[in-house]
């Protein structure tokens, strides 16, 4: 059985597709849902810390996870023209954003991302 062929997410000529308003709404909704989830997680963790004080060491890990999960939709909102018609809430597109973000961040020592590096 032949494997299905998928179209590239961005144009091959580097122009990409026109950014969609739906992608922006999805990115904002994704940021809001992630923040809400982390807010609930921090409050649940705070209750558990009263019972198990050792769990206080989870707070920095929780913050790092929040930052890592929030960076791709923020990157999408910052550089909309670079990503064309991607939909950040769709898992393959979210993973595409994560790969582009990690590649751009690992390419420089100041951990700053510019449109040229994407």
Residue 107 corresponds to which tokens in the numbers above? Answer: 């390419």
Q: What is the largest CA-CA distance in the chain?
A: 57
Predicted confidence band of residue 84 (pLDDT cuts 50, 70, 90)? confident
DSSP, residue by residue, 26-70: HHHHHHHHHHHHHHHHHHHHHHHHHH-GGGGGHHHHHHHHHHHHH
Q: Count of residues for the chain?
A: 118
Among 11-25, 46-60, 75-89, the range scoring the smallest mean pLDDT is 11-25
Tell me the whole-structure pTM to 2 decimals. Answer: 0.75
Instruction: Give the residue-averaged pLDDT of 69-96.
Output: 88
Predicted confidence band of residue 37 (pLDDT cuts 50, 70, 90)? very high
Domain ranges of the chain: 21-117
In the predicted structure, residue 6 carries a pLDDT above the cut 80: no
Location of structure tokens 């739906």:
22
Q: Which pLDDT score is estimated for 8?
A: 57
* Interatomic CA distance for residues 56 and 63, integer angstroms: 12
């Amino acid at each position: 059985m032949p494997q299905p062929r998928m179209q590239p997410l961005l144009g091959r000529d580097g122009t990409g597709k026109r950014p969609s308003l739906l992608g922006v709404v999805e990115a904002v909704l994704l940021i809001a849902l992630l923040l809400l989830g982390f807010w609930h997680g921090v409050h649940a963790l705070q209750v558990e810390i009263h019972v198990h004080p050792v769990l206080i060491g989870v707070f920095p890990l929780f913050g790092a996870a929040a930052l890592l999960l929030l960076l791709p939709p923020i990157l999408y909102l910052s550089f909309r023209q670079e990503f064309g018609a991607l939909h950040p809430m769709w898992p393959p597109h979210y993973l595409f954003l994560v790969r582009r973000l990690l590649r751009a961040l690992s390419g420089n020592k100041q951990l700053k991302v510019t449109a040229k590096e994407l």
